[in-house]
A = this chain, B = another copy of it.
Amino acid sequence: MGTEFDLIAMIQDGTQVPRADVSVGMGDDGAVVRVPPSQELVVALDTMVEGVHFLPGTAPAALGWKALAVNLSDLAAMGAAPAWALLALTLRRADAAFVQELAAGFAQLAREYQVALVGGDTTSGPLSISVAVHGLVPAGAALLRSGARVGDVVLVTGTLGDGVAGLYALRDPPRDTPERAALRRQLVERLERPVPRVAAGIALRGLASACIDVSDGLLGDLGHICAASGVGAELDATLLPRSRALRELHGESESLEFALTGGDNYELCFTVAPEHLQQALTDLGRVGCGVAWIGRIVAGSGVRVRDGHGGWLTPGTRSWEHFA
């Protein structure tokens, strides 16, 4: 133990996923992979920094899982099937146990989606993790932000607001009943072990007119769809899917705020033309993905939210911006 090369070998050992399309995996200056002629390549790169994207003391296995998960979520939002990943790990000192646990968390998710880790790099410095992912999508079938049209329905997978609630649960754990403590753990799990909506993204190929993952908060992310598509959106607050844990621990008003603006959620927000709606719901049901109809695309720009009493909500913030 003790050199850059040993750390990479440890990560490699923990994350072996065999893929026939990898010509040269980890251990050379670059990896060599093959893209089938009928497919386009989707690429994304995300960095997680200690104290910004995760709290100091977060379990390394959770970091490994999440660093890959947030990137797979980007692929999911494009409708791409995950294929290969590269991992750049910066840590203050060569800590074998830390790296082994991080690799194990990464590998657990990588195996689930058959993602081969084909490149890696460890350096010393303040703790951060960069992951580059590569996915495949039939040529022309990638889900973009720019295809939403007036009259399309706005939908979202799973439940909203749990990620930011998980952060509260971690930061400020009160003495609590066992039942509330269990709900709290559910929210922390949602924060630390987000499940990328890969199967849902693939199911939505040819059906969703636009798609994005809710990493920065629903209002901000749906706002990106509206801006890219040249449209507006109207949401109905009463339709926003919220978990029982979120409602019970944070109440109606705060859970709504979290659902609208909380980042770190990794559900898919997407739009579907009315004629494709039935098929989209059927296909998502087939892959076991919960989905909620939350609004509609309208002419204009920006996102407005009905409050359920005939009025409009005016939330305080619009997105989770790192430099806001």
Binding site for B on A (CB under 8 A): 2-5, 7, 23-24, 27-35, 37, 40-47, 49-53, 73-75, 77-78, 80, 84, 86-88, 90, 93-94, 118-126, 128, 130, 132-135, 137, 139-140, 142, 144-146, 211-213, 228, 321-324
Contacts and interface: CB of A to CB of B under 8 A. Distances in A.
A5 B119 CA distance: 28
A46 B171 CA distance: 32
B323 A51 contact: no
A17 to B, nearest CB: 16
Copies of this polypeptide in the complex:
2
A41 B35 contact: yes
Given A24-B144, A49-B124, A124-B322, A31 B44 contact: yes
Nearest to A87: B45
B23 A33 contact: no
A45, A88, A211: most-surrounded residue (chain B CB, <10 A): A45
Given A322-B4, A322-B122, A323-B93, A212 B29 contact: yes
B42 A90 contact: no
14 contacts: A23-B140, A28-B145, A30-B133, A32-B78, A35-B35, A43-B84, A44-B119, A45-B45, A45-B87, A47-B90, A49-B123, A49-B126, A88-B130, A125-B128
Nearest to A144: B28
